Amino acid sequence: MNGKANQEALGEFGRFTDPSVLILSSLAGGDKHGYAMIEDIVAMSNVHLGAGTLYGALARLESKGYIKALQSADRRRPYRLTALGKKVLEEHLREVQRVARLGLERLGGTI
């Protein structure tokens, strides 16, 4: 899968694209279950994901193979970022960074 395809891959999630990026970014810091992800995302970006949005995005990410569910002893199932997920996230963030840099340059600012 090339870079452009990776960006399109996340773009196909529609309204779940932004939550998916936040979830992948959260999982890049280590395995987490749903509640831990919500907390981490609030700390990271001040965005509070609802449970419905979280699981809508998690289900899509899992079916695409970007994350995988791990075994759990209780009801809280942890998730792990896969190699493909890492690659997709990296491509997406590079593209965002490129656009942000370009925008700031045009505004006369710096990153």
Task: Read off the amino acid at residue 60.
Answer: R
Task: For residues 48 and 23, give the distance between their C-alpha atoms in angstroms, rounded to a whole number.
Answer: 12
Asked whether the beta carbons of 48 and 40 are under 8 A apart, the reply is no
- Under the binding rule (CB under 8 A), the answer on residue 60 touching other proteins is yes
Task: For residues 12 and 10, give the distance between their C-alpha atoms in angstroms, rounded to a whole number.
Answer: 5
Helix (H) or strand (E) holding 69: strand 67-69
- Under the binding rule (CB under 8 A), the answer on residue 67 touching other proteins is no
Which of 44, 47, 76, 94: binder of other proteins (CB under 8 A)? Answer: 76
Angle between helices 17-27 and 51-64 in degrees, nearest 10: 80
- Under the binding rule (CB under 8 A), the answer on residue 43 touching other proteins is no
Candidates 23-31, 50-58, 86-94, 100-108; binding stretch for other proteins (CB under 8 A): 50-58
CB of 41 to other proteins, least distance (A): 12
CB of 106 to other proteins, least distance (A): 30
The alpha-helical segments, DSSP class H, found in the chain are 3-11, 17-27, 34-45, 51-64, 83-107
Residue 2 or 110: which CB sits closer to other proteins? 2
Residue 15 or 106: which CB sits closer to other proteins? 15
Kindly list the residues in this chain that would bind other proteins in the complex (CB under 8 A). 12, 33-35, 38, 50-56, 59-60, 62-63, 72, 74-77
